[in-house]
Amino acid sequence: MELLVASAIGTLTAGGVYLLLRLRTFPVILGLALLSYAVNVFLFASGRLAIDMSPILSKYGDASYTDPLPQALVLTAIVISFGMTAVLVMIGLGAFLEAESDRIDIDPSEDREDKTKDGDA
Amino acid sequence: MSDSGHFLFLIALLPFIGALVPGLMIRAGRTACAVFTAVPTALALILLMTLAPSVMRGEVVQAQVEWLPQLGLSASFFLDGLGLLFATMILGVGLLITLYARFYLSGDDPMGQFYTYLLLFQGAMLGIVISGNILLLLIFWELTSLSSFLLIGYWKHLPEGRQGARMALAVTGAGGLAMIGGMLILGDIVGSYELVDILAAGDQIKASEWYLPALILILLGAFTKSAQFPFHFWLPHAMAAPTPVSAYLHSATMVKAGIFLMARMWPVLSGTDAWFYIVATTGLVTMVLGAVIALFKDDLKALLAFSTVSHLGLLTMLLGFGTQAAAVAAVFHIINHLTFKAALFMTAGIVDHETHTRDIKRLGGLRHLMPVTFVVGTITALSMAGIPLFNGFLSKEMMLEEASHTKWLGSYYVIPVFATIGALLSVAYSYRFIVHVFLGPVRDDYPHHPHDPPAGMWLAPALLSVLVIVIGVMPFVAEALVTVAANAVTGADLHPHLKIWHGVTPALYMSVFAIIGGAVLLVLHAPMARIWNASPRPEAKVLFDWFVNSVAGASRWISEQSHNGAISRYLAIFVVTSVVVGASAFVGSGLSAPTRGLLSVPPVIAIGWFMLVVATISVVVMHHNRFRALVLIGVIGLTISAGFVYLSAPDLALTQISVETVTIMLLLLALHFLPKTTPKESPMGLKIRDGVIAVLAGAGVGGLAYAFMLRDIDTISDYHIANSYEGGGGTNVVNVILVDFRGYDTYGEIIVLGIAGLIIYAVMHALLDGPASRRLRNIDYSQDRSRDRHPLMMVVVTRVLMPLAAMVGLYIFLRGHNEPGGGFVAGLVIAIALLMQYMASGFAWTQARQRIEYHFMIGTGVIIAGLTGAGAWLFGRPFLTSSYTYIHLPPIEEFEIATAMLFDLGVFLTVLGAVMLMLYSLSRIARYAGETVNLEPMDYDPAKPATGEKEDN
């Protein structure tokens, strides 16, 4: 089981990083989505894996529980990563509508415009 | 702390408090503004005078309050003779300048601003001279650099003013940074940053191997501030400031800060060869160089600026001699220089104000037109020249006396000769100030017909010129103050006698030679000026600009090389660096043996894992088709939710599944406006490079996860499990952690989420108001629009589902404290139910039925959560302490209700509001893009496809 989870984290990370390095906004956003899956599962796994040990206190005092702390952290992380994705999507969309291009890199030829502007020294 | 200690705090604070007033009071008129500036200054001066008697008796007034004891920084103040001398000068001249500036500045200048800056500067300067902690002193030191920047650049419309202010800030600021280093070294040697401790540890400091670095760094700060060679060039450029500023900053205060510092540190740092050769030589060079340049300047203020440079050099040299007699001379000359130089600056300002020029070549003959100004200017200029019966003569004699028996590199001639040359040049430019401006025939080509200014303007310099004569004729009146200040500098018990006639001494010969030689130089001035102007010489401003430009150019080159606008490159560097750092940490430390076994894998789970891996690889391979990639992302998210269920994380599963839904909706909406495919443009080399990086990163993270999953750790979670029910009143430990144990974190997180929602809303508005809006209107989206936009079945089902979904949301919310669920999940569930309405029945239809603004929801949520937390204060508990009780309502079983639930309500509202605001903003763009909207649901009509749609306008 641990091997499966670890390899899933690894695959998600690799896919996320690869998409992150693409040149257009949309794949980068997808890459970030994959990476946030990977990070969330990674954080969750730091509490070690457990089956049938939900952190819901049992009425019969003899139950054992999995580590609840990483779960609480990941829960908010999931919601926050949604917020972050939404902001990125909006900014990417705005950039595309303003520039008519969804490239994320500045073209080196456009970069030279403000070189002539120096201080008024 | 005694009462007098409290007074010290008040003195330090008064200018800063006062600084708030003039800026606000300017509407009450310019005179009122000046009065409101004078009041705090005068108050501080009166308080200072109440402390003066005890200081004059040789006591030291101290006051201290701990500020940051961890850093050794305390707000401690310290008033001894030296501080008293400087504080009196700062406040006294401050009053005179306030009066003078009232009449000098024109009605067009923002006078309130001026006085505010002036008080800020005065406070900073005062802070330097009465600080009892060197860290505090450094803070005030930097404040003087900043506030003088504002004052020098006060006439913002003048480029010279801006450039001069920048140059002054760059030079004095850089020196200040060096001084911080030096002071920290001092504090480190002594083990305390208190001035008292440092002054007592002179021998320890001089014996330390860090003495020389500390000395050089501190002197860099002092020399830049006091315009010593080779940093003298900023002072003349700072003359672009209004004349009151020049008179205040450049005669009495700011440039004297460096002198003050050298005097303050004199017992600690002086007396070594390094001190003598660095300080005395710099002072000597500055004195002669400044005087030479001053002689050939045609601008009145430039002449005075370089003469100030020269006199500061003289003071520096005296302090550099390291003898007690020289220190007495320095202290006396500080007073004398203040009186004549401030008056001279104000005189120059009056001449400028009345004739509209400061060019000496266009002036002359003003003695008939401006008799009062002539008298004041002549008295003070003669004092600057060092003519007997004026106070400048006394301290210059003492300087020459000291110079005459000081040995420099084995020679008894170097210092006396150069000191005499400096004095001679000083006489020459002082004569020139009198002769070329006031004497000579009356001209008829002044830019403006001059006459004496109103009394308000000449009163201040006239008062100073009276002081010049009083001290010059009766030097014993200044004796007490000089004695107490000199004792503070030297730490000895001196009894100097200030008198006019010392007998026939070498100094007298030197003085006579200077006075006669100066007159000769003035006669020869015209031919010498021609030679001077023809000869090439380095222009400091050009060098400075060249230096600044080359540093800026180099920085630009470096940032362009490393920061070329390619985000993908930065990301690649970032990922590779993370992998390398992580891997190197792994390599260095040995891995302990695994302590946990592997869990078994049922076949269903293996299939889930397989789906996840295949879907991930497919996303990567097929990401060019963006819709397909989205579907696959959905598959991944759902698989992960299922995994959470299996691995004992029901809360996570619920959250993940609802977030997944919302995310996909969001991306779908965005994709509506974005290209539907990603072009295949990466060259093979790039793909391989990125692939390698990705695989390395994946292997690293996966390996790390595998490694720690096989090992046990100590966790603090047992505490949470044990106290969840007892302390938090809930059995769902995850929820209790969220709303109780770590409630503060959650509070921060919902605020972040709310801000994200507001950002999106704001970006949407910026877009719709910008050039993008025209583009949006012209895009033709018809090809991806369905004919049946609002299918009957979907409308009916969502409408039926709405109350059910709301019920489920409520249920999830209520059970959250004890069973999986809670505010986060409930908020998402309700959000999805609402979004379904938008999708099924259309934007306009749903919007028309929306009663509560989403911003309001976010705000209410945050406020409810915050108030719940603050409620704990009422019971004397820390923020966000929760409490709970059990209630029994007849039809329902007994249940417990916790304040944490109220907090969770805040979470719920914020999440709901933020998510809705985000998707609402995206859909508004769609509406703006010219999409028709329906006001009725189910607008499908096969016979007339276009009817039923109304243009939204």
Ordered DSSP codes for A50-119: -SS--SB--SSTT-----HHHHHHHHHHHHHHHHHHHHHHHHHHHHHHHHS--B-SPPTTGGGGGGS---
- Point out which residues pair with B895 in neighbouring strands: B887
Cα B723 to Cα B418: distance, rounded to the nearest angstrom: 84
Q: How far is B404 from chain A (nearest CA, A)?
A: 45
The DSSP line for B438-477 is: TSSPPPS--SS---PPPHHHHHHHHHHHHHHHHHHH-GGG
Q: What is the pLDDT of residue B780?
A: 65
- pLDDT (tens digit per residue) in B140-154: 999 999 999 999 988
Q: How far is A73 from chain B (nearest CA, A)?
A: 8
When mean pLDDT is compared over B21-30, B278-287, B396-405, the highest value belongs to B278-287
Q: What angle do CA B451, B454, B458 make, to 5 degrees?
A: 90
Going by pLDDT thresholds of 50, 70 and 90, the confidence category of residue B493 is: confident
- Considering only CB atoms, which chain B residues are within 8 Å of A91? 763
Q: How far is A58 from chain B (nearest CA, A)?
A: 8
Interface test with B, best of A54, A100, A106, A116 (most B CBs within 10 A): A54
Cα B392 to Cα B534: distance, rounded to the nearest angstrom: 33
Cα B343 to Cα B347: distance, rounded to the nearest angstrom: 6
The values of phi and psi at residue B68, to 5°, are -125, 80
CB pairs under 8 A between A and B: 322
Interface test with A, best of B543, B623, B750 (most A CBs within 10 A): B623
The values of phi and psi at residue B895, to 5°, are -135, 160
Q: What is the DSSP letter of B482?
A: H
The whole-number average pLDDT for the span B87-103 is 91
Going by pLDDT thresholds of 50, 70 and 90, the confidence category of residue B843 is: confident
- Considering only CB atoms, which chain B residues are within 8 Å of A89? 666-667, 670, 922
Q: What is the pLDDT of residue B934?
A: 59
Q: Which of B13-27, B267-281, B513-527, B934-948 has the lowest mean pLDDT?
A: B934-948
Q: What angle do CA B884, B886, B892 make, to 5 degrees?
A: 135
Question: Is the pLDDT at B944 greater than 60, yes or no?
Answer: no
- Considering only CB atoms, which chain B residues are within 8 Å of A5? 643, 647, 705, 709
Question: Is the pLDDT at B942 greater than 50, yes or no?
Answer: yes
The first and second tokens of residue B874, run together, are 């009422």
Cα A66 to Cα B235: distance, rounded to the nearest angstrom: 71
Scanning the structure block, which residue is given the tokens 């609002």?
B790
Q: What is the pLDDT of residue B283?
A: 93
Contact B759 A53 (CB under 8 A): no
Q: What is the pLDDT of residue A107?
A: 63
Torsion of the alpha carbons at B821, B827, B828 and B833, rounded to the nearest 10: 110
All structural domains of chain A, each given as residue ranges with its CATH number in brackets, are 2-51+67-106 (1.10.287.3510)
* The one-letter amino acid at B687: K
Q: What is the pLDDT of residue B594?
A: 83
Q: What is the pLDDT of residue B953?
A: 40
Cβ-nearest to A57 among B633, B733, B752? B733
Interface test with A, best of B648, B708, B736 (most A CBs within 10 A): B648
B911 to each of B357, B812, B834, how far by Cα in Å?
Answer: 68, 14, 13
Q: How much is the mean pLDDT over chain A?
A: 82
B950: number of Cβ within 10 Å:
13
Encode B225-240: b = buried (16+ Cβ within 10 Å), e = exposed: bbbbbebbbbbbbbbb
Cβ-nearest to A10 among B163, B636, B698? B698
Q: CA B516: distance to chain centroid?
A: 53
* The one-letter amino acid at B41: T
Contact A120 B552 (CB under 8 A): no
Angle between helix B3-25 and B111-130 (nearest 10)? 160
Helices (H), B592-648: 603-622, 626-646
Burial zone of B851 (CB within 10 Å; 0-12 exposed, 13-18 middle, 19+ buried): exposed
Three-state secondary structure call for residue B597: coil
The whole-number average pLDDT for the span B538-555 is 88
Question: Is the pLDDT at A106 greater than 80, yes or no?
Answer: no
- pLDDT (tens digit per residue) in B328-345: 999 999 999 999 999 999
* The one-letter amino acid at B246: S
Going by C-beta distance under 8 Å and a sequence separation of 6 or more, which residues neighbour residue B23? B112, B113, B115, B116
Scanning the structure block, which residue is given the tokens 């209410």?
B860
Counting residues of chain B whose pLDDT is more than 90, the rounded percentage is 34
Interface test with A, best of B568, B570, B628, B912 (most A CBs within 10 A): B568
- pLDDT (tens digit per residue) in B796-814: 888 888 899 999 999 988 8
Cβ-nearest to A18 among B566, B601, B694? B694
Contact B620 A92 (CB under 8 A): no
Q: How much is the mean pLDDT over chain B?
A: 86
Whether omega for the bond prior to residue B230 falls within 30 degrees of 0, making it cis, is: yes
Going by pLDDT thresholds of 50, 70 and 90, the confidence category of residue B1 is: very low
The whole-number average pLDDT for the span B16-20 is 88
Q: What is the pLDDT of residue B909?
A: 92
Counting residues of chain A whose pLDDT is more than 70, the rounded percentage is 84
Contact A56 B818 (CB under 8 A): yes
Q: What is the pLDDT of residue A112?
A: 44
When mean pLDDT is compared over B797-806, B833-842, B930-939, the highest value belongs to B797-806
Q: How far is A2 from chain B (nearest CA, A)?
A: 6
Cβ-nearest to A72 among B690, B738, B914? B738
Cβ-nearest to B737 among A33, A69, A79? A69
Helix, strand, coil distribution of chain B in percent, nearest 5: 75, 5, 25
- pLDDT (tens digit per residue) in B363-396: 888 888 888 999 999 999 999 998 888 988 988 8
Going by pLDDT thresholds of 50, 70 and 90, the confidence category of residue B113 is: confident
Question: Is the pLDDT at B946 greater than 60, yes or no?
Answer: no
- pLDDT (tens digit per residue) in B197-224: 998 888 889 888 999 999 999 999 999 9
- Considering only CB atoms, which chain B residues are within 8 Å of A94? 763, 766-767, 772
The residue that leads in pLDDT, B922 or B628, is B628
Cβ-nearest to A56 among B626, B640, B731? B731
Q: What is the pLDDT of residue B456?
A: 85
B5: number of Cβ within 10 Å:
18
- Point out which residues pair with B408 in neighbouring strands: B411
B826: number of Cβ within 10 Å:
28
Residue B592 backbone class (left: φ over 0; alpha: ψ -120 to 50; beta: rest) = beta
Q: What is the pLDDT of residue B611?
A: 92
Q: What is the pLDDT of residue B940?
A: 53
The values of phi and psi at residue B710, to 5°, are -90, 0
CA-nearest of B112, B183, B132 to B12 is: B132
- Considering only CB atoms, which chain A residues are within 8 Å of B652? 44, 71, 74-75, 78
- pLDDT (tens digit per residue) in B149-172: 999 988 888 888 888 899 999 999
CA-nearest of B752, B754, B729, B726 to B739 is: B729
Three-state secondary structure call for residue B886: strand
Going by C-beta distance under 8 Å and a sequence separation of 6 or more, which residues neighbour residue B822? B651, B732, B735, B738, B739, B812, B813, B816, B904, B907
Cβ-nearest to B620 among A19, A72, A100? A19
Contact (CB, 8 A) for B700 and B579: yes
Q: Which of B61-75, B807-821, B839-853 has the lowest mean pLDDT?
A: B839-853
Going by C-beta distance under 8 Å and a sequence separation of 6 or more, which residues neighbour residue B207? none
Contact (CB, 8 A) for B384 and B426: yes
Q: What is the pLDDT of residue B866?
A: 87
- Considering only CB atoms, which chain A residues are within 8 Å of B578? none
- Considering only CB atoms, which chain B residues are within 8 Å of A7? 609, 613, 702, 706
Going by C-beta distance under 8 Å and a sequence separation of 6 or more, which residues neighbour residue B831? B658, B662, B911, B912, B915, B916, B919
The first and second tokens of residue B879, run together, are 């923020």
Question: Is the pLDDT at B616 greater than 90, yes or no?
Answer: yes
Scanning the structure block, which residue is given the tokens 């940053």?
B193
- Considering only CB atoms, which chain A residues are within 8 Å of B717? 47, 67-69
CA-nearest of A25, A116, A8, A16 to B690 is: A16
Q: What is the pLDDT of residue B138?
A: 93
Going by C-beta distance under 8 Å and a sequence separation of 6 or more, which residues neighbour residue B117? B147, B150, B151, B154
Interface test with B, best of A93, A110, A114 (most B CBs within 10 A): A93
* The one-letter amino acid at B209: E
Scanning the structure block, which residue is given the tokens 């700011």?
B254
Torsion of the alpha carbons at B546, B550, B553 and B557, rounded to the nearest 10: 160
Q: How far is B879 from chain A (nearest CA, A)?
A: 20
The whole-number average pLDDT for the span B106-128 is 89
B1 to each of B6, B62, B76, B172, how far by Cα in Å?
Answer: 7, 8, 11, 35
The whole-number average pLDDT for the span A36-51 is 90
Question: Is the pLDDT at B948 greater than 60, yes or no?
Answer: no
Contact B674 A26 (CB under 8 A): yes
CA-nearest of B430, B323, B425 to B383 is: B430
Overall size of chain B counted in residues? 953
Q: What is the pLDDT of residue A117?
A: 40
Q: What is the pLDDT of residue B952?
A: 43
Question: Is the pLDDT at B250 greater than 60, yes or no?
Answer: yes
Going by pLDDT thresholds of 50, 70 and 90, the confidence category of residue A120 is: very low
Q: What is the pLDDT of residue B783?
A: 59
Contact A108 B824 (CB under 8 A): no
Question: Is the pLDDT at B775 greater than 70, yes or no?
Answer: yes
B569 to each of A23, A24, A93, how far by Cα in Å?
Answer: 10, 13, 21
Q: What is the pLDDT of residue A56?
A: 81
- pLDDT (tens digit per residue) in B547-573: 989 999 999 998 888 777 788 888 888
Cα B760 to Cα B765: distance, rounded to the nearest angstrom: 9
The first and second tokens of residue B858, run together, are 């976010």
What is the radius of gyration, based on Cα positions, of chain B? 39
ipTM: 0.89
Contact (CB, 8 A) for B615 and B623: no
Cβ-nearest to A105 among B565, B732, B772? B565
Counting Cα atoms < 13 Å in the Cβ hemisphere of B65 gives 7
Contact (CB, 8 A) for B93 and B248: yes
Contact B756 A87 (CB under 8 A): yes
The whole-number average pLDDT for the span B18-39 is 83
Per DSSP (E only), the strands in B500-596 are: none
